[in-house]
Amino acid sequence: MFAINHEAVDLDLRYATADNLTGSPIYTHAVALLHPDAHSALERSADLASAMGYRIIVFDAYRPSIAQWRLWEALPDPKFIADPRAAGSTHSRGIAIDLTLADSTGKPLEMGTDFDEMCIQSYHGRLDLDREAHRNRAILLGIMTATGWEHQPYEWWHYNLPDPLVYQKKDDAETVARIMRI
Ligand SMILES: [Zn+2]
């Protein structure tokens, strides 16, 4: 797993702070890790965003299964949180990213809802957003799909690599310890 480190990417790792749906920090270290395949895809995404005059803000990347349990216990709704007892989250395989776009100064673009705002306005294809939010989501969707990612219908901020089950969940103690205490 590689740490995200790109000149056009800023980190706002909400699960390392209390500003998340559980109300308390889940991660001990504010580190964003990705599987090498996802890491190189994100480098392409950041290069493309940068060429278009944007920056990327990352909210979450690799998420250990134990962290997925904390989220599931806070919000057991499979539309928004993958059930850790089933296939689990694509984040636990290191091949998913939660992100948004920012302008060249790092100011986040209007997307209609915040990250992790669990409501129907977070779905793709809504008709009840203002024009600017529609346009910004479409730009993010274009950048991400052009650089190898798949979208998720219920969360505008979530993208993962195709064929997620090809990748193993990473729950070995050494990898988990890079993010959080067990
Ligand atoms: Zn996600």
What is the end-to-end Cα distance of the chain in Å, rounded?
A: 19
Which residue ranges make up each domain of the chain? 2-177
Task: Report percent pLDDT > 70 for the chain.
Answer: 100
Q: Catalytic amino acids?
A: 155
Over residues 121-132, the mean pLDDT reads 94
Q: How far is CA 103 from CA 35, 40, 112, 150, in A?
A: 27, 22, 16, 23
Q: Is the pTM of this model over 0.85?
A: yes
Give the pLDDT score at 25.
Answer: 95
For the cut 80, the answer to whether the pLDDT of residue 182 exceeds it is no
Nearest residue to 75 (alpha-carbon basis) of 13, 120, 23, 111 = 23
Please name the amino acid found at residue 49: A
Nearest residue to 32 (alpha-carbon basis) of 9, 48, 53, 49 = 9
Q: Ligand 1 centroid vs 97 CA: distance in angstroms?
A: 6
CATH of region 2-177 = 3.30.1380.10
Q: Ligand 1 centroid vs 140 CA: distance in angstroms?
A: 14
The string of DSSP codes covering 37-106 is HHHHHHHHHHHHHHHTT-EEEEEE----HHHHHHHHHH---TTTS--TTTT--GGGGT-EEEEEEE-TTS
Distance, in Å, from the CA atom of 166 to the CA atom of 22, rounded to the nearest integer, reads 30
In the predicted model, what is the mean pLDDT of the chain? 95
Task: Give residue 173's pLDDT band: very low, low, confident or very high (50, 70, 90).
Answer: very high
Q: Ligand 1 centroid vs 63 CA: distance in angstroms?
A: 9
Task: Give residue 52's pLDDT band: very low, low, confident or very high (50, 70, 90).
Answer: very high
Q: What is the pLDDT of residues 40-50, one digit of tens each?
A: 999 999 999 99
Distance, in Å, from the CA atom of 78 to the CA atom of 101, rounded to the nearest integer, reads 26
Q: Ligand 1 centroid vs 62 CA: distance in angstroms?
A: 9
Around Cβ 133, how many Cβ atoms within 10 Å?
18
**The pair of three-digit structure tokens given for residue 178, joined into one six-digit string:** 């890079």
